[in-house]
Amino acid sequence: MGGGRVTIAAMILCLLALAVLPFFADKFTVQLVTKIMIMAIFAMSLDLLVGYTGLVSLGHAAFFGISGYILALSTPQYQAANFWVSLPLAMAGAGVLALVIGCLVLRVTGVYFIMVTLAFAQMLHYLFHDTGIAGGSDGMYIYLRPDASILGWRPFDLEKFGDFYFVVLALFIAVFLFLRVVLRSLFGQVISGVHVNEARMRSLGFPTFRYKLASFVLAGMLAGMAGYLSAVQFGVVNPDMLGWHLSGSVLMMVILGGMGSLVGPIVGAFAMILLELGLQSLTKHWQLPMGLAIVLVALLLPRGLIGLASLRSRSKEAADA
Amino acid sequence: MDLPTFLIQLLNAVQYGLLLFLVASGLTLIFGIMGIINLAHGSFYMIGAYLAWSLSGQLGNFWVAIALGIVLTVLLGMLLEWLLIKRLYQRDHLYQVLLTYGLILIFEELRSIIWGDDVHGVPIPDVLSASIPLTDTLAYPVYRLWMSGVCVVLAVMMYWLIQHTRLGMMIRAGASNRDMTQSLGINIQLLYRLVFALGVALAAFAGMIAAPVSSVFPGMGGQVLIICFVVVVIGGIGSVKGALVAALLIGLVDTFGKVLEIEIGGFRVLPELAGMSVYLLMAMVLLWRPEGLFGKRL
């Protein structure tokens, strides 16, 4: 049972490394890690659906994108939005959207669910792409980053990349701990039960549709948080934020890292973005090796990179014994 | 809208619907018979269109290009099934999504390496380049009529193949019980390989005949894939008849969504929201019959 302690020690070490990173690293690295942590929040939110509730969504970018758009549209033209108002607003918007879409898509299961989530996300993509709302296919700039003042006091300045890094780090840790608590609660037990055998959970008297819907809305809101942060980081929103390529790559992060654990999607986000960056520096046609890597993961690593680690520790345990 | 315009739009809608049917029927067959969800299906449509462009450019003959293209895509389908897809039959849908998503990236990048990222046009073959005059100013191209005709012929052939031939009987048997069919001495592996290759060839053929009317461009696969998902969801997964009805329905909604002008409270609902209309149709069908129009009860 030493494995658990080793894992916790490794996690604390990683956290410490993340906490001191801005004091040593250059601007590029800090911004890269900020982006990775945002994607890790996004991937964790999807894992709540895919890994825990057993709902494979291929349209999760809809909630990521919509809250970016909510920030862009609610920001006054020559002023900054208020951080403490706009973040909850964006997350609530994503939650309402998830509630509406969830009521529709949860009527179907399995392979239908995959197709229908994809189709609804694409509908939103076309809404922003084809109509003039928020600049159409070009997207919309957010010239001033949200202001974090509370009654004149400003705890941090989002225009500074160092401050933004720590805000994202804090939210990243908060989401991780929050999901840990949620998954250990009765709610978490029920959605895991739904994953394994929904009919049995229903006959035990749990209203499974409501639980699945709650999980879908929660995942949508957390994806919304990630989308909000992403819009703040890059200062721009465009229809690609809702597109299926993003939904696909975040699903890759979850599966690559290892679904059904919270560390898995984080590992997946780091691995995927660093791999992408590495391949991009090698060749213009980086999607070719990326695609090959994904195909190989699908064939050879059913439990993701996390599964690889536990496989090694298990074989070591077997060797020790 | 006057009658000739309406007629033209109606013909366009039917032609678009029938083309969608060709692509979607492959998707629904592969799912219904083999239980595989294939995200790379749109890529085959794209590959077909690019093959039509590059082969007809090099050979100078559209028909030879199509014939050669069909042979190549059937071989591609069999190769993919043998190399990758057959390892997915016993796996969760999640891994099917993952692997076929990886294939999309591979095909897109190979397309970029081999054919580049430019938009191309394919000339309509001379035999079919005429137009039928409807009024003094309006005419309808023969090529589009020919496309619809070919799609109808293929639909009838597919129906006949599945319902009235020995091969079709084996395919249907394999769909309902794989193990039983195999123990009756039927080579189910070969059967699945043929079905997959048929699906690939249908999608690619649709891309080839669509190339002269819609330009050949990167990203055309993704567009068609998602619309085909909508077709399959509306029609019911695994139902070829459902795919036909849903594809025609979507052809009508999409085409007339783009030409009608409807204003509600000063806001132009159509054609501004035409891109969303098919998804709204899907949402309505999901509320009414979640299993699709011709699907089995969930």
Chain B neighbors of A287, CB-CB under 8 A: 105-106, 108-109
Percentage of chain B beyond pLDDT 90 is 45
Q: Is B267 helix (H, G, I), strand (E, B) or coil?
A: strand
Three-state SS for A108-154 is CCHHHHHHHHHHHHHHHHHHHHHCCHHHHHHCEECCCCCECCECCEC
Contacts of residue B95 in chain A, CB cutoff 8 Å? 255, 298, 302
Backbone angles phi, psi at B117, to 5 degrees: -110, 15
Tell me the pLDDT tens digit for each residue of A143-193: 888 888 887 778 888 888 888 999 999 999 999 999 999 999 999 999 999
In chain B, the residue whose alpha carbon lies closest to the alpha carbon of A58 is B97
Spatial separation of the C-alpha atoms in residues A194 and A244, rounded to whole Å = 26
Is pLDDT above 70 for A312?
no
Helix or strand holding residue A236 (H, E): strand A236-237
Identify whether the C-beta of residue A252 lies closer than 8 Å to the C-beta of residue A56: no
The model's pTM = 0.88
CB of B268 within 8 Å of a chain A CB? The answer is no
* Residue B291: per-residue pLDDT: 84
Closest Cα in chain B to A256: B98
Given CB atoms, is B263 within the 8 Å cutoff of chain A? Answer: no
Residue segments in chain B with a per-residue pLDDT below the cut of 70: 265-270, 297-298
What pLDDT shows up at residue B124? 87
- For residue B271, say if its preceding peptide bond is cis, omega within 30 degrees of 0: yes
Q: Least CB-CB distance to B99: which of A122, A126, A299?
A: A299
Mean pLDDT of all residues belonging to chain A? 88
Rounded distance, CA B242 to CA B234, Å?
8
Cβ of B233 and A112 within 8 Å? yes
Element (H, E) at B271: none
Chosen from A53, A112, A113, A131 to mutate, greatest number of chain B CBs within 10 A: A112
Contact call for B233 and A298, based on CB within 8 A: no
pLDDT the model gives residue A1: 41
A114-122 average pLDDT score:
87
Among all residues of chain A, which has the CA nearest to that of B268? A131
Please name the member of A104, A126, A287 whose beta carbon is closest to the beta carbon of B283. Answer: A104
| Local confidence band at A311 (pLDDT 50, 70, 90 cut-offs) | low
- Has residue A274 got a pLDDT over 90? yes
Q: What is the mean pLDDT of residues A97-109?
A: 91
Predicted confidence at residue A2, as pLDDT, reads 46
Among A6-15, A31-40, B40-49, B163-172, whose mean pLDDT is lowest?
A6-15
If you average pLDDT over each of A121-125, A294-298, B177-181, B196-200, which comes out highest?
A: B196-200
Q: Quick one: pLDDT band at residue A214, thresholds 50, 70, 90?
A: very high
pLDDT (0 to 100) of residue A319: 54
Task: Output the pLDDT for position A177.
Answer: 94
| 3-state SS, residue A57 | coil
Distance CA B168, CA B202 (A): 16
Interface contacts A/B by beta carbons within 8 Å: 127
| Three-state secondary-structure class, residue A156 | coil
pLDDT of residue A250: 94
| Residue A296, SS3 per DSSP | helix
pLDDT at A33 over 70: yes
Q: What is the distance between the alpha carbons of residues A228 and A89, in angstroms, rounded to a whole number?
A: 10
Helix (H) or strand (E) holding B133: strand B131-133
Give chain A positions within 8 Å (CB) of B286: 104-105, 107-108, 116
Q: List CB contacts (< 8 A) between B250 and chain A.
A: none
CB contact under 8 A, B99 and A288: no
